[in-house]
Amino acid sequence: MADDRFVLTDGQAHDLAYRYGTPLYIVSESGLRSRIKRWKSAFDSAWPGAEITFASKANSTLAVLAIAHQEGCLIDVASEGELRAALAAGVPASRCHLHGNNKSSAEIRFAVESGIGQIVVDNFEEIEVIAGLPEPRPEIIIRLAPGVEPKTNAKISTGQADTKFGFNINDLSAERALLRCLRLGLNVVGFHCHVGSQLLDPGAQISGGEIIAEFAARMKSSHGFEAKILNVGGGLGVRYTDNDEPMPVEDYCQAIATAVRQALEGSGLTPRLVQEPGRSIIAEAGVTLYRIGVVKTVPIKGGTRTYISVDGGLADNPRPALYGSRYEVRLITANNRPPGPDATFTVSGRHCETDRLFPDVQLPKNAQRGDLLQVLCTGAYNSVMASNYNRYARPATILVRTDGTSEMVQRPETWDEMFARETVPADLA
């Protein structure tokens, strides 16, 4: 598969770092738009009339949501906050789907009052809450737990039997959920599953699609219910490192469509097929820039280790700490200094933790204070997971427009904003 990750030139990196500071998130508008177009074309070729929903949990920056909407994506939101973000970006609520394993009654009411397009129900309590709301009520999709074990980090596996998400098929919870919705007169339109994220082996996602299609066929045979929509979730992996080889989007869509088509054969069902890519749309369209500070060599058993400390870390990218995530890291030297031969470094952040961002990476030996590090494939789950740990302000996001110009679409947090939520009681001041 061709490597089309967004990469800044040295000149672009220096210019952006000078103008906006570091750490800095950068998103390529052309890269984002081209990935959406590729997904939509591939899926429509595999299943005519299929739809793409952008999983906004991967990156809910308003400009990103606006671009996804412009390109014809539906928007998957997993909280009231994500729905409000979509609305603020100009996305009609009718183009949004509400997810979540523990939606509050207030969240559901807000979504319905806003005109939400679909609610993906996850438990019996949600069904009763929705049934208690006045009409008109939104479309309902029932989330299923297909009982498959994806090959990915356990913390981002969601489709196995032992999961907080959805209705289990094997213990008949899924069938009971459908029957309860039908008895209450809810507008059930189909079924959903999502088995996990960063799937470099998509076998589990393909199996999940097959299983929910088989379930849909059984529900028609047993209860006369005709599913109009089958949503097979997202999860296709991306090229975080040069060694990662995700399946091409075209092959992936064909494989899922073929599995679903075979499972529905003879059922008479012709549902619309939906997928919810997030990471695979935005991750490779983004990079992060850091500036090198301290370079320090320390003794370890059998030798030494050299640490490069940068002006970011755990607060702007918690994924290495959470999942042991690896990234491709590239040095951009200051003052056009020629890079030397490679050596092994551990890139660490500035936080009061071990905070090893990128252990044992190969970088030019003459890396020094003032140089920049460009980290590829950071468009997903970086800015949305950012925190104020150690009271660091969250970074800005820059959009590189299709004409090559840049525009700040999320400014850096200010000190006043950081402390705006807090007060000191008078007797403590």
Structural domain including 363 reads 284-419
210 and 112 assigned to the same domain: yes
Which CA distances in Å does 317 have to 86, 323, 327, 357? 23, 11, 11, 8
114 and 261 assigned to the same domain: yes
What tens digit of pLDDT does each residue of 96-109 get? 999 999 999 999 99
Mean pLDDT of the chain: 93
Per-residue tokens: 137:
């009520």
Closest CA to 108 of 95, 124, 90, 127: 127
127 and 231 assigned to the same domain: yes
Separation of alpha carbons 50 and 158, rounded Å:
23
Would you tell me how many other CB atoms lie within 10 Å of the CB of residue 92? 14
pLDDT of residue 87: 98
Would you tell me how many other CB atoms lie within 10 Å of the CB of residue 392? 21
277, 292, 318 - which closes a domain: 277
200 and 90 assigned to the same domain: yes
272 and 302 assigned to the same domain: no
pLDDT value at 155 more than 60: no
Residue type, 215: F
**Contact in structure between 393 and 414 (CB atoms under 8 Å):** yes
Domain annotation covers residue 30: no
What tens digit of pLDDT does each residue of 309-339 get? 999 999 999 999 998 999 999 999 998 888 8
CATH (domain of 200): 3.20.20.10
Domain annotation covers residue 2: no
Q: Number of folded domains in the chain?
A: 2
Please tell me whether residue 143 adopts helix, strand or coil conformation: strand
CATH (domain of 413): 2.40.37.10
Would you tell me how many other CB atoms lie within 10 Å of the CB of residue 343? 13
237 and 329 assigned to the same domain: no
229, 248, 277 - which closes a domain: 277
246 and 339 assigned to the same domain: no
264 and 296 assigned to the same domain: no
pLDDT of residue 1: 58
pLDDT of residue 401: 98
Residue of 181, 253, 352, 377 with catalytic role = 352
Residue 330: beta bridge partners? 374
239 and 134 assigned to the same domain: yes
Confidence of residue 5 (pLDDT cuts 50, 70, 90): very high
pLDDT of residue 148: 61
Residue at token pair 């008078």 = 426
277, 308, 326 - which closes a domain: 277
Domain annotation covers residue 182: yes
Domain annotation covers residue 33: no
Separation of alpha carbons 406 and 423, rounded Å:
37
Active site residue 193: no
pLDDT of residue 336: 83
Domain annotation covers residue 18: no
pLDDT value at 157 more than 80: no
Domain annotation covers residue 153: yes
Closest CA to 344 of 378, 309, 306, 372: 306
369 and 309 assigned to the same domain: yes
Separation of alpha carbons 173 and 149, rounded Å:
19
